[in-house]
Amino acid sequence: MFDRKHSCVVVVGAQWGDEGKGKLVDVLAEQADVVVRYQGGANAGHTVVVGDRQFVLHQIPSGILHAGAICVVGNGVVLDPETFFAELDELGGQGIDVAGRLFISDRAHVVLPYHKLLDQASEKHQQIGTTGRGIGPTYEDKIGRRGVRVADLCRAETARAMLAERVERANALLQLLGSAQRASLEEHLELVERLSVRLRPLATDTGRLVFRALRDGRRVLMEGAQGALLDVDHGTYPFVTSSNTTAGGAAIGAGIGPTEIDGVLGVVKAYTTRVGNGPLPTEAKGEVESRLRDLGGEFGATTGRPRRCGWFDATVVRYSVRVNGLTGLAVTKLDVLDSFDEIPVGVSYRLDGEECDDVPSDVELLERVEPVYETLPGWGKSTTSARRLADLPPQARAYLDRLQDLAGAPIRYVSVGTRRDQIIEV
């Protein structure tokens, strides 16, 4: 994706999350100078496998495993400082040195314990199936202009005054929501006291850092979290996360202008998964779903929940190409389909007897659509050692060609296993 004309590339999930963004960011970070996470928070779980070691990153960019990469948590992220430092310490324990190359935007909003209580209390009223990480309430506070930012935490006096007011407000809300839980001001003050010391040296104007890197001819990779169908504007609202997961969010969440972005890589699984509630038109049932789940290891990297599984939905990916402006696709987990005799692909929908080739805005309509399937022959061979397209069985290549035609964007990468080296560059 990087070349002389492309120095700022965004990696986004083009389905419902967990497409393998972490793996692709790790692969591409080899060529990048700066890697920026631009939205979401500890709801994300990005898995990177290097040799026989597995790393699950939630808030730290997946570029961190490359010693030369500068990693940035952008202003669009909602930062949970407690779990952020736990993640950092775990990486340190695994021998990953981040000293001097990890920065956090001082404009990023902070997830506090009361946000998590509110997230859990809200779930009792509206079952979205959130990760319970306080994401929605933190973004609500940001938009409501009552958020607490990293810059605020760095100033002890300001933080104390803000917290007294915010905790009282959160407790009133918890009561309104019928929750017996209450946030403790002491716990918040202690947390801030303990973590602001560690936060201060990492906090900076990261938008300026990224801007300067681009101006100096450096390569910048932007790492999205979640997927297009979880975008608060373009996803299956209200069954979405609370941020703009699509590529437009990258400029805002990293603090640069949209004209800096040269390419957008959409990561898609060779099939479809979703965690949490909401429509999933090509969801498989019974044994087929369990087989996909077992073969793909489809259990949430953050919550451990079993992922709902189904066939590739070309309508969703076509839509994702449109709302993200995708310039390329990375198809992951092709190897998971190795043993299937036949592979259905959802090519469009039928809605009340009419053909429908786009994702309807109304979630109730999307619940009602019936996918139109085309069945492609399987290849019945392992693809895990393929490193060039030519190494793949002809049926696997035909499968990829069909996905590319239906999606309307060129396939640039094919992933055939969890490990860093199990990748085909097209």
Which of 9, 108, 202, 275: binder of ligand IMO (CB under 6 A)? 275
For strand 342-351 and strand 354-356, is the pairing parallel, antiparallel, or unpaired? antiparallel
Q: Which of 46, 115, 188, 234 is catalytic?
A: 46
45 binds Mg ion (CB under 5 A): yes
Residue 296 interacts with Mg ion (CB under 5 A)? no
Work out how close the CB of 15 gets to ligand IMO at its nearest, in angstroms, rounded to a whole number: 9
Q: Is 18 in the site for Mg ion (CB under 5 A)?
A: yes
Which of 30, 56, 120, 129 is in the footprint of ligand IMO by CB under 6 A?
A: 129
> What CA–CA distance (Å, rounded) separates 111 from 137?
8
Which stretch in 219-227, 287-295, 335-343, 362-370 sits in contact with ligand IMO by CB under 6 A?
Answer: 219-227
Quote the least distance from Cβ 48 to ligand IMO, whole Å. Answer: 12
Q: Which is nearer to ligand IMO, 273 or 348 (CB)?
A: 273
All residues at 6 or more sequence positions from 259 whose CB lies less than 8 Å from its CB, including other chains = none
Residue of 7, 8, 22, 271 that binds ligand GDP (CB under 6 A): 22
Binding residue for ligand GDP, selected from 20, 61, 74, 360, defined by CB under 6 A: 20
338 part of the active site: no
User: What number of chain residues touch ligand IMO (CB under 6 A)?
Assistant: 23
Binding-site member from 10, 12, 19, 245 for ligand GDP (CB under 6 A): 19
The one segment of 45-53, 76-84, 342-350, 387-395 that binds Mg ion by CB under 5 A: 45-53
Asked whether position 18 contacts ligand IMO by CB under 6 A, the answer is yes
Active site residue 46: yes
Q: Select 346 or 417, whichever has its Cβ closest to ligand GDP.
A: 417
**Identity at 362, one-letter amino acid code:** D
Catalytic residue numbers read 18, 46
Report the interface residues with ligand GDP, using CB under 6 A. 13, 17-23, 45-47, 49, 297, 301, 332-333, 335-336, 415-418
Binding site for ligand IMO (CB under 6 A): 13, 17-18, 43-46, 128-131, 133, 135-136, 225-227, 230, 241-242, 275-276, 301
Report the interface residues with Mg ion, using CB under 5 A: 18, 45, 301
